[in-house]
Amino acid sequence: MTAKRTVVVVDDDKTNLMLMEMLFRSFADYQVLTFSSALQALTSLVTQDFEVAIVDYMMPEMDGISFVKQLRMQERHADKPIVMVTADKEADVRLAALDAGAVDFLQKPIEPIEFRVRMKNLLRLSEAQRKLSDRAAWLNSEVEKATQSLREREEEIIGRLSRAAGYKDMETALHTFRVARYCSALARQLGESPEFCRDIQLAAPMHDIGKVGIGDSILGKPGALTDEEREEMKKHTLIGAEILANSSCDLLHLAAEIALTHHERWDGRGYPMGKAGENIPRSGRIAAVADVFDALTTERPYKDAWPAERAFLYLREQAGRQFDPACVEAFERCKDEILSIMRSDPDAHAIAA
């Protein structure tokens, strides 16, 4: 059985309330909720829904115009049909009621046939508005579902790309995911939005994806690189940005930004573009700190792992030169979280404590 919808009547005269209830008996699908107190009605209607409200103009606690203004301030009733009942035929009263939010008037004494016709039309209007609102809510829900589904597919693609890049250079496969967690922790400490912190953790693992275009003889070389090899290695920033560029996906756009700029330096002596200071995107400045810290604290074929304290000291020494000072300060403020990430997600090689 379908629940009856509610019509609200507010009038301090109990005889008028009884009359309204009697007149509404012809509307089988509706029930009448009456209030003899305007203040009590406002309190109850905070949680009570209705289709149409009928409000008397002359009431002792507040007049009908004031009541309508207060009711319209409740978001759930901002668009509901409200009818003013008045014996006053003055134009200024009617204009004030319309300005407050009333949509129709009933003149005292109420004529039953006119009342039923007006109520029938208003209830139809209310029903149409409700269906439209329900339809809009359904469409909004469907859009949210589609957006979430698209987001999940984007995240899956990004995760697979990150894992694919790891197969090219297994020595540093977990490096990319630690860097991502460092980036997220640092972004939170810098006061970035939860959405940005989540996105940078998803995008940062692709900061070195351009290494798929670098020869194995360079990537796997156990000793120091020659000047020519170093220049070739630097190209991984441009290759990575090219792989990820021109996507309509915001995550891939952020990943491309990080891939291109995570080797830029605060003093402008980095690569590939030699950007300096705040001309470097903040995502790149964040990733630069996270990338270098992880590289220093993990063992590689050509180097031993540094102790964490030594790595933090290096970051402090390079603040204002290689790194954004604000990023270094924030990285130190979340030191406990950084150390926890180090120990919970190590490479196959030991990480120095």
Count CA atoms closer than 13 A to 295's CA, side-chain side.
11
CB atoms within 10 A of CB 281: 17
∠ at Cα 32 (31, 37), nearest 5°?
155
Can you say whether the dihedral through the CA atoms of 323, 325, 331, 335 is positive or negative?
Answer: positive
CATH number for the domain whose boundaries are 5-140:
3.40.50.2300
Q: What is the pLDDT of residue 3?
A: 67
* Residue among 84, 35, 70, 29 nearest 51 (CA): 29
Q: What confidence category does residue 353 fall into, taking pLDDT thresholds of 50, 70 and 90?
A: very low
* b/e burial code for range 112-149 (CB count within 10 A of at least 16 → b): eeebeebbeebbeebeeeeeeeeeeeeeeeeeeeeeee
User: Between 76 and 320, whose confidence is greater?
Assistant: 320
Point out the least confidently predicted range of 23-27, 139-143, 339-343.
139-143
Q: Which residue has the tokens 């009711």?
A: 71
Band (24; pLDDT cuts 50, 70, 90): confident
Among the listed residues 120, 118, 188, 140, the one whose alpha carbon sits nearest the alpha carbon of residue 331: 188
pTM for the full predicted model:
0.59
Residue 45 has pLDDT above 80, yes or no: yes
Average of pLDDT values for 18-47? 88
Confidence of residue 326 (pLDDT cuts 50, 70, 90): very high
> Is a pLDDT exceeding 50 seen at residue 349?
no
Q: How confident is the model at residue 182 (pLDDT cuts 50, 70, 90)?
A: very high
Q: Is the pLDDT of residue 350 over 50?
A: no
Domain segments of the chain: what residues? 5-140, 169-344
Convert the pLDDT of each residue in 57-95 to its tens digit: 989 889 999 999 999 999 888 888 898 888 777 788 888
25-29, 79-83, 348-352 — most confident range = 79-83
Q: pLDDT confidence of 347, banded at 50, 70, 90?
A: low
Rounded to whole angstroms, the Cα distance separating 215 from 222 reads: 14
- What pLDDT does 246 receive? 86
CA gap 280, 86 in Å, rounded: 67
Record: fold of 169-344: Hypothetical protein af1432 (1.10.3210)
User: If you ran DSSP here, which 8-state letter would residue 344 be given?
Assistant: H
In this predicted model, what pLDDT tens digit does every residue of 284-319 receive, in sequence order?
999 999 999 999 998 876 678 899 999 999 999 999
- 133 has a pLDDT exceeding 80: no
- Say whether 80 sits in a helix, a strand or coil: coil
Task: Give the pair of three-digit tokens for residue 105.
Answer: 């008037």
The CB-side HSE value for 319 (13 A sphere, CA atoms) comes to 14
pLDDT at 110: 81
Whether the per-residue pLDDT at 348 is higher than 70: the answer is no
Mean pLDDT: which of 110-124, 169-183, 333-347 is highest? Answer: 333-347
How far, in Å, CA of 6 to CA of 18, rounded? 16
Q: How confident is the model at residue 2 (pLDDT cuts 50, 70, 90)?
A: low
Q: What is the mean pLDDT of residues 6-22?
A: 88
Report the pLDDT value the prediction gives residue 200, as an integer from 0 to 100: 95
Read off the pLDDT band of 117 (50, 70, 90): confident
Is 171's pLDDT higher than 60?
A: no
